[in-house]
Amino acid sequence: MTRILLYTDQPIMAKGFSAIMSSVAEFDLMGVCYASALLTETIISSRPELALIDLNEDITLEALGDLRRRAPEVRLVLWVRAIPLELAYQTMRLGVHGILRKTLGPEVMIQCLRRVAAGEYWFEEALSSRLDDAEVVS
């Protein structure tokens, strides 16, 4: 069973995610972190295999980098409404395992989480092709 921790500052989103996860036997939603300031410490203390992080203005590249350094074994999936191409590229370079749009259905979300739990990466084809086509300036 894959243990998942959700970070979101939206209780309604957490309730919906919890309802979806309750029907998927191979996942255990071990908790929800509602405060970005507590995210890294919560992940370090609870040691989930996978963390679904609702990307908002409180989650910075610095915070993601710190999280990757302090809990490198935790697979991170960003849950986004939209993500600028450069930010997607930067998060991938930090070691994020997936970027999942909130507008996708529960079946796709579960498919993403299953693949990331299995050690794969999840980046939608549309995002991957945009990254392949983009000329990244260092």
- Structural Rg of the chain based on CA atoms: 14
pLDDT at 127 over 90: no
pLDDT at 126 over 70: no
pTM: 0.90
> From edge to edge, which strands make up the β-sheet containing 75-80?
27-33, 2-7, 50-54, 75-80, 98-101, 122-123
**Are the C-beta atoms of 41 and 86 separated by less than 8 Å?**
no
Q: Could you report the per-residue pLDDT of 58-113, keeping only the tens digit for each?
A: 999 999 999 999 999 999 999 999 888 888 889 999 999 999 999 999 999 999 99
pLDDT at 44 over 80: yes
**Residue 64 corresponds to which tokens in the numbers above?**
């993601």
Tokens 């989930």 sit on residue: 48
